[in-house]
Amino acid sequence: MVQRRWLRSLKAWVPRWRISVTGRADFQRNATRFVLRVLAGLGITALGFGLVIWLGTLRYYNLGYAESILPGLGQGFLVTIRLVAVVIPLGFALGFLFGWARTTRSLILRGLGAAYVEVFRGLPPIVLIFFSYLITTLAILNISKNPFIAGDVALWMGAIALSLHSGAYQTEIIRAGILSVPTGQIEAADSVGLSRWQTMFRVTLPQAFRVSLPPLGNEFASVIKDTSLLNIIGWLDLAQIGLLQVPAALKADFNLVFIIWIEIAMLYFVLTFVVTKAVRFVENAYKVPGLEAAEL
C-alpha cells in the first residue's frame, strides 16, 4: 500500500518503543492513528466553531457576546480539566484495587470490595459530594477553626467523593475483566510453576485489562461529565461559570442563553473526545489477535 508522504513525515515524529512481555511492537502505527483521530475530531470541532462564527457574522446571534464569555469559560474549562485529572486516575486506582479484592479468595477482602461497591454505587454522586463536603467542613472547623482551610479541603473531598463513586463502577469493570480470563490460563500458569503473584501479573491482569479497556473508556467519558456536579459545593468549573452568566444573559436577550450552553457543550465534547480516543489508543497499542475488542 502506498503511503502518503505527509503521513510518513508525521510518523517520523511519533516515538517508537517496545512494550515488554505484555504488548506489541507496532506502537508507531497506533500512535499515528491516535494523533490522526484526535486531529480529525478536533478538525470537525473547529469546523463546527467556524460554522457558528460564520452564523454570528451573519447576525444570526450576537457574536460579540459569544466572544466576551469565552475567556471566563476557558478558566472554567481549566478547572474541569484539573478535576478530571484527579478523578479519573483516583477512580481507576480504587476500581483496580477493589476489583482485584473482589476476586481474591479472602472472604474479608471480598466483603470489603462488595460493601464498597454497594455503598458508593448505590448513592447518587450528588449526595456523596454533599456528604463529604459537609463532614469535612465540620470536622476541620472543629479542629482548626479556620474556614478557609476547611473550604479548600472540603472542595477536594468532593472530588474524592466523585472518585469513590466512579471507582465503584470501575471495580465491577475490573472484576468482570479478571473473571473473563479462562481458568485454563491459570491452570497453565500453575503447571509451569509460576507463583500466585506471577500468575496474577503475567497472565491474568494483562488479559483482564485488555477486556476491561472499552468499558473503562465508557466510564471515563461518563465521569468527565459528572464533574459538573461538583459546582454545587463551589467549584468554579466549566458548567458553573456558564451558569453564572445565565441571569445576565436572560435579562439582555433570551437567545444569549443558547450561546452560553452551546459553548459549554463544545468544550465538554472536546475533553471527552480526547480522553476516549486516548483510551482507544491504549486499546490498540495492546491489541493482540484473539483478545481484541471489536474494531469500530
Partner 1 sequence: MTMVRIQGLHKSFGTLHVLRGVDLDVNRGDVLCIIGPSGSGKSTLLRCTNLLIYPDKGDIFLEGVKVTSREVRPEWVRQQIGMVFQQFNLFTHLTALRNVMLGLVRVKRMDSAAARSKAEFELERVGLADKKDAYPAQLSGGQQQRVAIARALAMDPKVMLFDEPTSALDPEYIHEVLDVMKRLAEEGMTMMVVTHEMGFAKEVADSIIFFDQGQIVERGSPEEIFDRPGHERTKAFVSKILR
Q: What single DSSP character describes residue 286?
A: T
Q: Which of 68, 144, 198, 255 binds partner 1 (CB under 8 A)?
A: 198
Is position 19 an interface residue for partner 1 (rule: CB under 8 A)?
no
Q: Does 238 bind partner 1 (CB under 8 A)?
A: no
Length of the chain: 296
Nearer to partner 1, 175 or 210 (CB): 210
**Nearest residue (CB) to partner 1, 204 versus 231:** 204
- Can you give the three-state secondary structure of 214-265, one letter per residue? HHHHHHHHHHHHHHHHHHHHCCCCHHHHHHHHHHHHHHHCCHHHHHHHHHHH
Residue 182 CB, shortest distance to partner 1, in Å, is 8
Amino acid sitting at position 255: N
Q: Does 192 bind partner 1 (CB under 8 A)?
A: yes
Binding range to partner 1, per CB under 8 A, among 138-146, 155-163, 170-178, 181-189? 181-189
CB of 187 to partner 1, least distance (A): 6
* Type and span of the H or E element at 281: helix 255-285
Of 10, 11, 22, 269, the one binding partner 1 (CB under 8 A) is 22
253 binds partner 1 (CB under 8 A): no
The single residue listed with the C-alpha cell 502518503 is 4
In whole angstroms, what is the distance from residue 205 CA to residue 76 CA? 37
Task: Spell out the residues 6+ positions from residue 105 whose beta carbon is closer than 8 angstroms to its own.
Answer: none
Q: Report the residue number, 103 or 207, with the smaller CB distance to partner 1.
A: 207
267: exposed, middle or buried (Cβ count in 10 Å: 0-12, 13-18, 19+): buried
Name which of 207 and 231 has its Cβ closer to partner 1.
207
Q: Which residues bind partner 1 (CB under 8 A)?
A: 21-22, 182, 184-185, 187-195, 198, 202-203, 206-207, 210, 288-291
